């Protein structure tokens, strides 16, 4: 079965888009933007998996009410460290709150009125995860009659405790390390297959943070092969 529901809410405080995808996975993708100081993310029947985050401004419409035009002009405003604190605060939880302030994200564009934009997945029960350290191989397997559906992936480091044994502190300190091609590489190698193997190495993903000991994180589920086109419409 394949169904899409789109819900749009636009107020001074929140701008929210919700997309419901192919029902064989049950995965919900949510996009939200918060103008206030606190951003709340909620998954009523699943766990949060942050996909993207930005504290800044990328258009002139969102969070514009009552603001002078000079505070809306820069639409190329990005906070390079936004993903890490949001992921740490929210991943694996049913709900979370993130403060949208300069003290958390720094100020990427002085004088511009900013908002916190987040996209995330609500992963239903049955979603699996795999973590392997750098130079190791991640092996994903599904039962007969089912195939792999990739939800998210990252080759890098987002905390200092994973894959830390025997490593000096200098190799664990950077916790905002993301290989931008992670999802593409893993999806290409595993999506729709009954099993697959992905090597966690710089030769596969490139090196997103030189000198940091990395690991490969993948979240996925095993689903019946979709009889419909399970893509966003």
What CATH number does the domain containing 35 carry? 2.60.120.740
3-state helix, strand and coil shares in percent for the chain, rounded to the nearest 5:
15, 40, 50
Report, in angstroms and rounded to the nearest whole number, the Rg of the chain calculated over CA atoms: 19
Which regions in the chain score pLDDT beneath 50?
Answer: 1-25, 227-229, 231-233
Last residue of a domain, one of 108, 123, 138: 123
Domain hosting residue 161, numbered range = 128-224
Q: Please answer whether residues 143 and 218 qualify as being in contact, where contact means their C-beta atoms are separated by less than 8 angstroms.
A: no
Do 68 and 119 belong to one domain?
Answer: yes
Do 119 and 148 belong to one domain?
Answer: no
* Predicted local confidence at residue 208, as pLDDT: 95
What DSSP line would sit under 157-200, residue for residue? ES-SSTT-TT--GGGT----EE-TTHHHHHHHHHTT-SEEEEE-
Q: What is the pTM of this model?
A: 0.56
Last residue of a domain, one of 97, 123, 149: 123
Q: Which two tokens stand for residue 44?
A: 């009523």
Do 77 and 28 belong to one domain?
Answer: yes
* Predicted local confidence at residue 26, as pLDDT: 59
Domain contains 174: yes
Do 218 and 136 belong to one domain?
Answer: yes
Residue linked to tokens 């999806």: 187
Do 95 and 134 belong to one domain?
Answer: no
Q: Which two tokens stand for residue 178?
A: 């993301």
Q: Please answer whether residues 57 and 131 qualify as being in contact, where contact means their C-beta atoms are separated by less than 8 angstroms.
A: no
Last residue of a domain, one of 92, 123, 154: 123
Domain contains 231: no
């Amino acid at each position: 079965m394949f169904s899409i529901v789109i819900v749009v809410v636009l107020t001074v405080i929140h701008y929210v888009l919700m997309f419901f995808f192919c029902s064989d996975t049950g995965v919900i993708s949510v996009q939200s933007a918060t103008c206030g100081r606190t951003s709340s993310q909620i998954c009523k029947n699943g766990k949060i998996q942050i996909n993207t985050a930005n504290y800044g401004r990328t258009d002139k419409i969102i969070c514009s009410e009552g603001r002078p035009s000079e505070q809306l002009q820069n639409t190329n405003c990005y906070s390079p460290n936004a993903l890490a604190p949001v992921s740490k605060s929210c991943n694996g939880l049913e709900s979370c709150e993130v403060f949208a302030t300069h003290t958390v994200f720094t100020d990427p564009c002085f004088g511009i009125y900013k908002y916190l934009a987040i996209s995330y997945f609500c992963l239903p029960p049955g979603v699996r995860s795999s973590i392997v350290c750098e130079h190791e191989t991640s092996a994903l397997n599904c039962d007969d009659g089912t195939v792999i559906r990739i939800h998210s992936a990252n080759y890098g480091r987002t905390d200092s405790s994973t894959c830390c044994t025997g490593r000096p502190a200098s190799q664990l300190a950077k916790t905002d390390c993301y290989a931008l091609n992670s999802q593409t590489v893993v999806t290409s190698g595993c999506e729709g297959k009954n099993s697959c193997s992905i090597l966690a190495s710089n030769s596969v993903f490139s090196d997103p943070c030189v000198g940091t000991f990395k690991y490969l994180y993948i979240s996925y589920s095993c689903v019946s092969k979709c009889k419909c086109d399970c893509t966003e419409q």
